[in-house]
Amino acid sequence: MGGMPERIQVGSADSADLREQDLLRRVQAGEKQYFYDLVKPYERRVYTAAFAILRNEADAEDAAQEAMFKALTHIQQFRAEARFSTWLTQIAVNEALMRRRRAHSEIMEPIGERQDEEGNYTPRDFADWREIPSEVLERKEIRQKLTDAVAALAQKYREVFVLRDVQHLSIEETAEALGISRASVKTRLLRARLMLRDLLAPGLNGTWFGRVPFMKGNKPW
């Protein structure tokens, strides 16, 4: 890659799609120096997708970087029928899944993995949360609790939840990225949301405990 690329100016916030298409055309035409500009808006998304699967910062970063590099290598294979962000996320998910298989980290899958997906899930906590002020996310320990909770979910629920609710992919995009049916995405998403609600209710409903309940062996399911 050459020296510093000429920065492409954005006309307005609404032109993000046009900008992306322009960058994409340039990169596919061989101007690889624009690739980082193309993927920059999705850095966090790609990293989070990898983190949802690998549950480890260093591994997630490696996988995310490798996914981006693979995307660059295979940029000619991208077709405009899909959204670029979905394509990128799919590569990250595949890369992370491959690494997870290699590391045999399935052994560490604890919560909810054996649950019957077809059966109904019954919430166990009926305390009213009320509204949680978004300022709580300014607190690092709260962010950590939320990260821990999602990391404690079984793989199949965690990956659906992260793609759908953290990365805001649609049901279809999530299904496509994970290679599962739309119905499975919806079932797993429901369970993931309800499990997280149960896990976090004791803390977000009042005071946070020193540790989230499932870490004390008190598994609700």
| Cα(28)–Cα(49) distance, integer angstroms | 25
Q: Which of residues 104 and 206 has its CB atom nearest to other proteins in the complex?
A: 206
For residue 90, the tally of other CB atoms under 10 A from its CB is: 21
Instruction: Please name which of 153, 62, 71 lies closest in space to residue 99, comparing C-alpha atoms.
Output: 62
Q: Which of residues 126-185 bind other proteins (CB under 8 A)?
A: 126-132, 134, 136-138, 143, 146-147, 150, 161, 165-166, 168, 171
Structure token pair of residue 188: 């797993």
Instruction: Please name which of 127, 116, 143 lies closest in space to residue 48, comparing C-alpha atoms.
Output: 143
- Shortest Å distance, C-beta 109 to other proteins: 20
Q: With binding defined as CB under 8 A, does residue 196 bind other proteins?
A: yes
Q: For other proteins, how many residues bind (rule: CB under 8 A)?
A: 52
Beta-strand runs (E) in the chain: none
Q: Which of residues 74-93 bind other proteins (CB under 8 A)?
A: none
One of 78, 83, 148, 186 touching other proteins (CB under 8 A) = 186
| Cα(31)–Cα(23) distance, integer angstroms | 9
Backbone dihedral angles phi then psi of residue 93, each to the nearest 5 degrees: -60, -45
DSSP notation for 137-173: GGSHHHHHHHHHHHHHB-HHHHHHHIIIIIS---HHH
Contact window for other proteins (CB under 8 A) among 13-21, 86-94, 190-198, 211-219: 190-198
- Shortest Å distance, C-beta 79 to other proteins: 20
Contact window for other proteins (CB under 8 A) among 6-14, 18-26, 57-65, 110-118: 57-65
Q: Give the footprint of other proteins on this chain (CB under 8 A).
A: 1, 35-36, 40, 43-44, 47-48, 51, 57, 61, 64-65, 68-69, 72-73, 120-123, 125-132, 134, 136-138, 143, 146-147, 150, 161, 165-166, 168, 171, 186, 189-190, 193-194, 196-197, 200-201, 204
